[in-house]
Amino acid sequence: MEVPLSLSLQKHPFVQSQTHELKHWNSIIKHHTKLKDDLAILTTYTQMESLGILPDTATLPLVLKACGRLQAIEKGKKLHNSISSTNLASDIRVQTALVNFYSKCGMLQNALNVFDEMTERDVVSWNAMISGCVCCYEYQKALRLFSQMQKGNLKANSVTIVELLQVCGELLELRSGKEIHGYSLRHGLFNTNPHVDSSLIGFYLKFDPWIASLVFQTLASRNTISWNTMISGYINHGDFLKALKLFILMLNEGFKCDSITMLVVIQACAEFGDHGLGMQVHQLVIKFGYNNMHIVNSLVNMYNKYADLKSSYELFTSIPTKDVALWNSMLSCYVESGLINESIHLLNKMQLEGIKVNERTIVIILPLCANLSNGLINGKSLHAYAFKIGKERNKHIGNSLVNMYTLLNCVEDATKVFNKMKDIDVISCNVFISALANNKLKVQSCEIFTKMLELEIKPNSQTITSILSAFDGIDLLKFGKSIHGYVMKCGIEIDASLNTALTEMYINCEDESMGMRVFEEFPEKDLISWNSLLSTYIKNNQPYKTLLLFHHMVTRVKVKPNFVTIINILSLYTHLSNLPQGKFLHAYTLRRFSLLNYDLPLVNAFITMYSRCGSLEYAENLFNVLPKTNLISWNAMIAGYGMHGNGDEAMLTFSKMVKQGFTPNRVTFISALSACSHSGMIQKGLHLFYSMIQDFGITPELVHYNCLVDLLARGGLLNEAKNVIDTMPMAPDAATWRALIVGCRVYSDTHLAKTAFENLIELEPKNPGNYVLLSNIYAASGLWDEVKSLRLILENKGLKKPAGRSWIVIKSQLHFFAAGDKSHPQSETIYRKLTSLLTFVKEMGYVPDLRWVLHDEDDERKMVRISCHSEKLAIAFGLINVSGGSRILITKNLRICGDCHEFSKYVSKLSRRMIIIRDATRFHHFVDGLCSCKDYWKQFQFFWVKIFIPLIDMTRQFSIGSNNLGCICFSNPLAIQHPTIDMSSSQNSSASIGMQE
DNA sequence: CTAGGGTTAG
């Protein structure tokens, strides 16, 4: 910008003459004005000033205009002073120029003073004053000036109209704008002046693109600007297709585009997401020769939106002199693509090339910090840099800092930044509220919400969604209802995610009908809404309703499920052990999505389903044909082998995985360590634990230490297990103590068990399972008084042990059994079969182990009690109904009873059938009198509970629900049949089970 | 004295 001055001065014929005559100076100023060289105008004026020459009425406005544009406040004021005593000060052109200068520099009062002193005013001076008010955001003042002007019988011209339309647009005054529209029609200002035409379109675009397009269509003559206005209007309304269509029409009608047309069209292409179209527009840019920095910048961003990093980078490198914005854009591409190293490299390169990092750069790289191991240090140094360049309080920087600190769990730092920020808006508040909500700081997030209302910042849909997520449980319902009311009252637009949050809120708080109403009445339900609804029902242990909804969604509403839907539904079949339905869903998915094999998360879910539904072979088959695997696939297989007691295969899979170049992660070691536990491979497990630390550099977490405790405890190394608990770097949790207690039970160490139990109860006083666990140990040691007192404690605390349930799936139908249950239609046959089984196995040497009856009764009663456990009923039913040769697969919600375990071994030998029982912790494969768990079954495995739970809590589902549906039976996931078994009567029998587990 | 854009949360 500085260069043209000397060049133009040299070229100008008058410069050489060095004359002091005014007309020569005026001539120079006029010349620079033509070249739009404001700086040169000011330099010229400075030279005149030093010679004591003042410009005349013709050139003085030109100098003032230059001062205004360059924000040369002092220079302009000085000029004003120097003419104040001359007759120039009363010239209408000069006064108008002063008004204009002061308002451009934001000094509205000075402008008004000049305006007030004017003795004579024309339209141009009124316009200057009105435009000055617009410049200084004083829109109401502008409107008042207009009415004053009309009182003076001055007719508005096109410039007045343009300014007034601007005012009405800013104030969102549709009515007033329409009046201005009418005024221009009456006075012949519309369709005669292109500025008015475009302004009118721009005005209507703030409200309704349809009205704007009607005006656009009536235009007698259009120019590039009116086309641009219309195109960018569509873009602002998110209608990228209409914008692009209009652009094509513009070309077809032979209008010339300019660089702004290309700029907005590139934006439309980027948002529209059509890679091919974007490339064509890029070709046009080259053809038309618009290669300014803004355009290149937009193109780089466009390719980034297409995830075409290669094109972004090629374009970026092809520009020899890049400005900071271009570097920022490229940097942003890398950061958004998650290329951390490349981003840092580019940042360094940028600085090496002497480009000064600006505030935008900071905003771009701050999110990286959350993913760096030394992220906080980097984040803080960026924060310090922002402080140094005086941008700490900047809105965008503040937002990013708040976000960064939150992701790094530094809520305090985030709060400090937020409190210091100036000009916060709804976005700033949303960032901060969601930060607080993520940390469940409900009081603080409400405070910010209140602060927003005080500052008159209108909350939007996202604000409400975030604030709802801060609440849990019963608080949520109370608060949720009032916030729902607030949303309705204030007319906050409900988007899909807010609707989902409201629906979930009501369902989670057991106001299901309201939740469904909110869901049903929302017109813009999309697949995501449906998927979240399904997952809410799953989380609330409502498998039956979930499946009904799924059915309704697919067949009635005709919403096509996607992978997420399938994974959700699949998880139900996985939990329910419904292998036939799982298989059916697999077949359905293969038909529906032919590329199933390429969506790894989905295939991994199927692998897990097969292994947890007892079909390790299917899981293996699926895994073996995968064209590509990821870490999760391997982890699923290792977990599968472990769960089925095949520790050797789990270890082999682990080695294969490492050999193929995968780096095991924390989950891999959880699965692998647990596999060792299940198969009693203590040495191998210990080795694995050390290898995890030394070879793979993974710092063991609590869950890994828990694995270690479990491994040692079940191997009888109770002191070593206790030692691990005492020396591990973090506090043990309930699972740690449970693992130790289970070891104590196997090796009958009641003393250590008591210590462990005291710790456990302190951590989880309300979990009935914990009391049952200790009761088991006392019972096994014959300490009946202690058992009794424990039961009293349970009763006093109002805790109830979950009832044991076993179920078996036959032809996709679930058949449930509780102990002593006689509600099944085939009940008589089942008991007859069971009696004969018992007779046969007793002959083979089976002796009922009455220690597993945790009631202090006589042996005869104990015998009756133990002979009708739910597992035994399910086995008898399975032998009757599963065709010979096929294996029998039974699932139990709790851990298998020890006596039933023995019984199953005998039955497998007697019937020559494979019996598989999945309990809360693992699989037991009974073949020819032996179990795959090698009798390591007694152990309670905490993390499997985590994996299986939320294992659908059958007790809750089938005894509380309004329709006591005993089974869920679908022959087809898309067609739900009615259940055949009523389990309502089994509630009574469950009450008498006692503390079996 | 006047119309269209420009790079900003996750």
The answer to whether A187 CB sits below 7 Å from nucleic acid chain B is: no
Give the residue among A305, A288, A286, A276 at the shortest CA–CA distance from A250.
A288
When pLDDT is cut at 50, 70 and 90, the band that residue A23 belongs to is confident
Query: How far is residue A152's CA from residue A168's CA, in Å, rounded to a whole number?
Result: 22
A139/B4 CA-to-C1' distance in Å = 21
The answer to whether A425 CB sits below 7 Å from nucleic acid chain B is: no
Instruction: Quote the crossing angle between the two packed helices A324-336 and A309-318, to the nearest 10°.
Output: 160
- Nearest 5°: phi and psi at A891? -120, 140
The answer to whether A566 CB sits below 7 Å from nucleic acid chain B is: no
User: What are A944-993's pLDDT values in tens digits?
Assistant: 222 222 222 222 222 222 222 222 222 232 223 322 222 223 333 222 22
Return the pLDDT at A980: 25
**Helical H segments across A337-472, by residue range:** 340-352, 359-369, 375-388, 395-407, 411-420, 426-438, 442-454, 461-469
Query: How far is residue A788's CA from residue A795's CA, in Å, rounded to a whole number?
Result: 11
Q: Is the pLDDT of residue A725 over 50?
A: yes
User: What are A656-669's pLDDT values in tens digits?
Assistant: 999 988 889 889 99
A426/B10 CA-to-C1' distance in Å = 14
What's the rounded mean pLDDT across residues A392-413? 86
Going by C-beta distance under 8 Å and a sequence separation of 6 or more, which residues neighbour residue A7?
none
The answer to whether A157 CB sits below 7 Å from nucleic acid chain B is: yes
Tracing tokens 């052109």 back to the chain, one arrives at: A93
User: What are A150-209's pLDDT values in tens digits?
Assistant: 888 889 999 999 999 999 999 989 999 999 999 999 999 999 999 999 999 999 999 999
Task: For residue A224, give the nucleotide whose C1' atom is nearest its CA.
Answer: B4
CB A424 within 8 A of CB A456: no
Going by C-beta distance under 8 Å and a sequence separation of 6 or more, which residues neighbour residue A413?
A405
Residue A788 token pair: 């009794």
User: For strand B, which residues in window 320-349 of chain A come within 7 Å by CB?
Assistant: 325, 328-329
What's the rounded mean pLDDT across residues A112-139? 93
A557/B8 CA-to-C1' distance in Å = 40
CA–CA distance from A49 to each of A39, A57, A60, A750, A980 (Å)? 15, 16, 12, 103, 103
- List domains and CATH numbers for chain A: 1-154 (1.25.40.10), 806-991 (no CATH)
User: For strand B, which residues in window 204-233 of chain A come within 7 Å by CB?
Assistant: 223-226, 228-229, 232
CB A359 within 8 A of CB A394: yes
Q: Is the pLDDT of residue A361 over 70?
A: yes
The answer to whether A394 CB sits below 7 Å from nucleic acid chain B is: no
Going by C-beta distance under 8 Å and a sequence separation of 6 or more, which residues neighbour residue A174?
A168, A207
User: What are A267-300's pLDDT values in tens digits?
Assistant: 999 999 888 899 999 999 999 888 789 999 999 9
Query: How far is residue A290's CA from residue A327's CA, in Å, rounded to a whole number?
Result: 20
When pLDDT is cut at 50, 70 and 90, the band that residue A598 belongs to is low
A387/B9 CA-to-C1' distance in Å = 20
Query: Per mean pLDDT, which range of A277-286, A506-515, A731-740, A832-841 is the poorest?
Result: A506-515
The answer to whether A878 CB sits below 7 Å from nucleic acid chain B is: no
Return the pLDDT at A951: 26
CA closest to B8 C1', residue: A396
CB A146 within 8 A of CB A130: yes
Residue A296 token pair: 């290149």
Return the pLDDT at A389: 82
Return the pLDDT at A936: 60
Task: For residue A124, give the nucleotide whose C1' atom is nearest its CA.
Answer: B1
Give the residue among A798, A757, A796 at the shortest CA–CA distance from A774.
A757
Task: For residue A297, give the nucleotide whose C1' atom is nearest its CA.
Answer: B7
Return the pLDDT at A943: 28
CA–CA distance from A768 to each of A728, A819, A922, A939 (Å)? 27, 19, 21, 18
Task: For residue A161, give the nucleotide whose C1' atom is nearest its CA.
Answer: B2
A276/B10 CA-to-C1' distance in Å = 28
What's the rounded mean pLDDT across residues A357-365? 89
A59/B1 CA-to-C1' distance in Å = 16
The alpha-carbon radius of gyration of chain A (Å, integer) is 39
Question: Dihedral sign, CA of A374, A377, A378, A383?
Answer: positive
User: For strand B, which residues in window 362-391 of chain A come within 7 Å by CB?
Assistant: 363, 366-367
Return the pLDDT at A102: 94
Tracing tokens 């009615």 back to the chain, one arrives at: A978
Cis previous bond, A543, omega within 30:
no
A264/B6 CA-to-C1' distance in Å = 10
Query: How far is residue A64's CA from residue A66's CA, in Å, rounded to a whole number?
Result: 5
What's the rounded mean pLDDT across residues A905-910? 91
Task: For residue A430, give the nucleotide whose C1' atom is nearest its CA.
Answer: B9
The answer to whether A33 CB sits below 7 Å from nucleic acid chain B is: no
Task: For residue A65, give the nucleotide whose C1' atom is nearest its CA.
Answer: B1
By three-state DSSP, how is residue A971 classified? strand
Residue A14 token pair: 């008058």
H or E segment and range at residue A265: helix A259-272
Return the pLDDT at A379: 85
A100/B1 CA-to-C1' distance in Å = 8
User: Which of the nucleotides in strand B have any atom less than 7 Å away from a protein CB atom?
Assistant: 1-10
Query: How far is residue A537's CA from residue A67's CA, in Å, rounded to a whole number?
Result: 67
Residue A550 token pair: 């799924």
Give the residue among A352, A351, A380, A382 at the shortest CA–CA distance from A364.
A382
CA–CA distance from A118 to each of A87, A92, A122, A125 (Å)? 13, 7, 10, 9
Task: For residue A126, give the nucleotide whose C1' atom is nearest its CA.
Answer: B1
A773/B3 CA-to-C1' distance in Å = 80
Name the burial class of residue A115, with classes exposed (0-12), middle (13-18) and buried (19+) by CB atoms within 10 angstroms of its CB: buried
